[in-house]
Copies of this chain bind each other. A is one copy, B any other.
Amino acid sequence: MGVRPETEMTTYDVYAKNCPTRLVLDRLADKWALLVLNRLREEPVRFNQLRRDIEGVSQKVLTQTLRNLERDGLIRRQIFPTVPVTVEYSLTPLGQTLTRTVAALAHWAEENIDAVLTAQQTFDASRASHAHLR
């Protein structure tokens, strides 16, 4: 990356309305994007394989998600002129630095799902008992 002047480094603030970091966070705050990144962490995957692996995603939305991630430089799209055509998606080096964090998020979800479900039940039960107040 080379030497970079520190001009305005401190002005980046995720809480600020027009800060570009917000744009990045918006992009990452997408369940399909997170799932795609996490899936690609293991290996390069083809379009229809992704479509099959990630249950519930429609063709259109998967295309959009992949296009966005590609635009952000997080994944790479490679076309192989086989028959029928093969399109392989893989992580860029930049994407790889991110997926460690994404993997941690997915891991957290799998680890703490029980606690979350319990909390939800407690919350809902509490709400139900107060229902007459509404």
A contacts, CB < 8 Å to B: 12, 14-17, 20-26, 28-31, 33-35, 38-39, 53-56, 70-74, 94, 97-98, 101-102, 104-106, 108-110, 112-113, 115-120, 122-124
Residue of B nearest to A22 (CB): B31
- Could you tell me if A24 and B72 are in contact, using CB atoms closer than 8 angstroms? no
- Could you tell me if A94 and B115 are in contact, using CB atoms closer than 8 angstroms? yes
A105 to B101, CA, bound (A): 6
Chain B nearest CB from A105 CB (Å) reads: 5
A116 to B20, CA, bound (A): 10
Supposing A15-B55, A31-B26, A35-B15 touch, asked if A21 and B123 sit within 8 A by C-beta, the answer is: no
Supposing A56-B17, A123-B73 touch, asked if A24 and B94 sit within 8 A by C-beta, the answer is: no
A30 to B33, CA, bound (A): 12
